[in-house]
Amino acid sequence: MAMHSESAGARRQEDASRGDGQQEHAPPTSPWEWVAAGFGVLLIAAMIGYMVQYGLREGSAVPGDISVAAVGTQAGSHAFTVRFKVKNETSATAAGLRVQGELKSGDRVVETAETTFDYLPPYSSRYGGLIFENDPSRYELHITPSGYNEP
C-alpha cells in the first residue's frame, strides 16, 4: 500500500516537471461570461432592494378594505345556506377573518350566523357560506366582516 502512494506521488512530480517547467492554466474568462455574471449580480441586487422596499412600505398596512357580497341562497332540508364572496382590496393579510350575517325585520334581529376564514391573502377573494334556520328571502340580510387577526 505504501508503494502505491509513493509511485503516485512520483508520477505527479513527473507530470509537473514535464513541459519544461510550464504549468497548465485555465483558459481566460470570456467577455460573455462577465456579462452573464454582471447581469446575475444586478438581478440579485434588484430583488433584494425590492423586497426591502416592499417590506418597509407594505409592512404597516391593515386590511381595512374588505368587502362581502351575497352570491346566492340554497334551501336545504332543515336550513338555508347563503353563499357569499369576501374580497380583500388591500396589501395586508387578514388571518382569522370573522364574517357575520344577520337577518333583520325592521330594527329587530331575527337570527345571526358567523363564520371564520383562516387566511385571506392580499388582493384576493374567497367564498364562504352562512347557515340560517329562517328563510333569508323573507328578511333583510346584512353580511359584514366583524374582525381579524394579524398573522
Structural domain span for residue 47: 33-61
Which residue in 66, 76, 82 sits closest to 141, CA to CA?
Answer: 82
17 in any annotated domain:
no
Instruction: Quick: pLDDT tens for 25-45.
Output: 888 889 999 999 999 999 999
Mean pLDDT of 88-104: 91
What are the start-end ranges of the H helices in the chain?
Answer: 2-17, 31-58
Tell how strand 80-88 and strand 66-75 pair up.
antiparallel
What are the start-end ranges of the H helices in 18-85?
Answer: 31-58
pLDDT of 4 over the 60 cut: no
State residue 55 phi and psi, 5-degree precision: -65, -40
Q: Which residue has the cell 333583520?
A: 104
* Whole-Å CA distances, 126 to 6, 61, 112, 113, 123: 73, 20, 21, 18, 11
Residues 53 and 80 in one domain: no
* Cβ atoms of residues 57 and 92 within 8 Å: no
Mean pLDDT of 73-87: 94
- Read off the CATH number of the domain in which 98 is found: 2.60.40.1620
Residues 116 and 145 in one domain: yes
pLDDT of 20 over the 60 cut: no
* Cβ atoms of residues 109 and 103 within 8 Å: yes
C-alpha cell at 76: 336545504
Residues 57 and 127 in one domain: no
